[in-house]
Amino acid sequence: MLFSVFELKFNTMKKTLCILAALAFTFGAMAQTETKKEQMKDLRTDVREKKAAKHQVNKDLSHVRLGKAAHDQKAVAAENKDMKKDARRLKRKGVTHPITKAKRQVHVQDDNKKDHTE
Condensed to tens digits (0 to 9), the pLDDT of residues 15-62 reads 888 888 888 888 777 766 678 888 899 999 999 999 999 999 999 999
What single-letter amino acid sits at 40?
A: M
pTM tops 0.75, yes or no:
no
